[in-house]
Chains A and B, each alone.
Chain A
Amino acid sequence: MSMSQEEIEALMSGADDIQVDDVEEETSEEEILEEATEEINVDEILAGIDGIVDDEEPIATIESSNVSEEISEMEQKINNNQYPLPVSDENKVVNQLNEVADDSEEKASQIFDVLSFILDENAEISKYNKNMADFIEKQAILLESLSVKFPNVNVFTENLDNAKELLETSKDLSSKVDAENNKVFEAMELMQYHDINRQKIERVMAVIKKLSSYLNGIFEDDSDKPEVQIAKHISGDSSDIVDDSDIESLISEFSN
């Protein structure tokens, strides 16, 4: 079980009597997914989406002949060494997982570039906004004194009102930019899951490597016996096996 940040804090401050087992088990992702799935009516959702075509054949209509065709097709692929896929570098599972991890790292970096760009642009917007607000504020002070000095000149009062309104808009803009920045920071924080997921992939890769080495070890033939030629058809195999009469007829056929 992982430690929470609070437990680590407690550990840091010397409290070594943490009851790790007492920590309430968090709901697993699978449980959450199950709960969520139970609440979702897939048919209703699909019905609400335009352009969804039901291309699935009803199970009942799938005839057994199709199944046997598929099996024979698979057998043919196996016989022709097309399946399972040949053990080339691009088909090795660990290599594929490695590629996924690297690809994901590259894309995450690109996403980070985009987020950084937004932050930089927001910083520019904030700077311009502040300059404008400073100017409008000075104008407002000027208009304030003018409207006091010349109360009968309406244009001063009107422009003062406009300036005050613009100052409010500038404040709004500033808080909107701040809120957007906070969301960008939030997105950047969430990108830590990329690293966490990469490490999960690396853990799977490590398991596969260990399993591969174990299987290699257990199937390894360290005897000096030469490789024997194996029988292709043995009595009891499901494939066609000749019986005595077949043999006799074949012999007589060849004798002719």
Chain B
Amino acid sequence: MRILIVDDSSTMRRIIGNVVQQLGVPKEDFDEAEDGVVAWKLFQQNNNYDVVLTDWNMPNMNGLELVKTIRAVDKKVPIVMITTEGGKGEVITALKAGVNNYIVKPFSAEILKEKLDGLVKG
């Protein structure tokens, strides 16, 4: 399973990467990006991701813009928004933009595992 992890905090990328590794995904099978611009470049270059996990608030291109950009060319790839934005309005905005699931920080590893399992099986 190829995963793209997008977050401007290197600590968050490592936390998410750690959970993903616990799920049995080897380190070589996930890429990291510190903002939407880098993520979009990687997405175009590789075009083989099974899941995209993205933060919302990031410099250069935020997560919402990234979701819209990806959805313009790829309607299928599952996208999970992992963010501190916990307002109902934000969740609805993200869903409308095309995210498949939404996780509010701080989250437990179990939550991410469940959501990823659901996406991969679904």
Contacts and interface: CB of A to CB of B under 8 A. Distances in A.
Q: Is the interface of A mostly helix, strand, loop or mixed?
A: helix
A189 B11 contact: no
Contacts of A5: 103-104, 107, 111
B88 A3 contact: yes
Given A11-B88, A105-B10, A192 B103 contact: no
Given A11-B91, A199-B84, A192 B12 contact: yes
Interface in A179-213: 185, 188-196, 198-199, 202
Contacts, number: 77
Interface of B: 7, 9-12, 14-15, 18, 22, 57, 84, 86-88, 91-92, 95, 101-109, 111
A133 interface: no
B10 A8 contact: no
B108 A8 contact: no
A194 B9 contact: yes
A20 B86 CA distance: 12
Contacts of A194: 9, 11
Interface of A: 1-5, 7-8, 11-12, 18, 20, 105, 108-109, 112, 116, 185, 188-196, 198-199, 202
A19 to B, nearest CB: 11
A105 B88 contact: no
Sorted from nearest, which 4 A-B pairs have the closest CB atoms?
A: A2-B86, A192-B106, A195-B9, A108-B11
B86 to A, nearest CB: 3
A8 B85 CA distance: 12
Contact of A195 (B11, B91, B92, B101): B11
B14 A8 contact: no
Contacts of A8: 91, 102-104
14 contacts: A4-B104, A5-B107, A8-B91, A11-B91, A12-B101, A12-B102, A20-B88, A189-B15, A191-B15, A194-B11, A195-B9, A195-B11, A196-B106, A198-B9
